[in-house]
Amino acid sequence: MADNFPPDLIDAQFRLHQARAEYEALCRSLPWSVEPAKGWPGEENPHTGAVTGGREDSPGYTATQKTEVLRLRALLRELSLEVSTHPHWDSVEAEKRMEARMALKHHPDAVRSPATV
């Protein structure tokens, strides 16, 4: 089943994986709040003295960061639609589409490392 995917569908799935990874990496690098916000102190455990919780002040996202988040979200929507509405799915029996979709997500050419491209 995994060998009969059209090349353009495999490529779209690969680009979707790449965009998702880029978006997740960006999100990990962003401040915790989109807009500037005051932080709050953590709570000290009365028995151990360990402080848990709390946040530093957030400077908020820069205009560039906001633009990049919007760009990547739009790209993710576009690629998700491209993959999910591809004409190939019409040729797959309805009962087997979920299995086929999972096979596409794990297809060797859809998960190849960018370094091997």
Segment 101-114, tens digit of pLDDT: 999 999 999 987 65
For the chain, the average pLDDT equals: 93
Q: Looking only at Cα atoms, what is the longest distance across the chain?
A: 64
Residue 108 backbone phi and psi in degrees, to 5: -55, -35
Instruction: Give yes or no for residue 69 having a pLDDT over 60.
Output: yes
At 43 the three-state DSSP class reads strand
Supply the range of the domain harboring residue 68. 2-116
Predicted confidence at residue 3, as pLDDT, reads: 63
- This prediction has a pTM of 0.83
Query: For the chain, how many structural domains are there in total?
Result: 1
Separation CA 64–CA 31 (nearest Å): 13
CB-side exposure of 91: number of CA atoms within 13 Å? 7
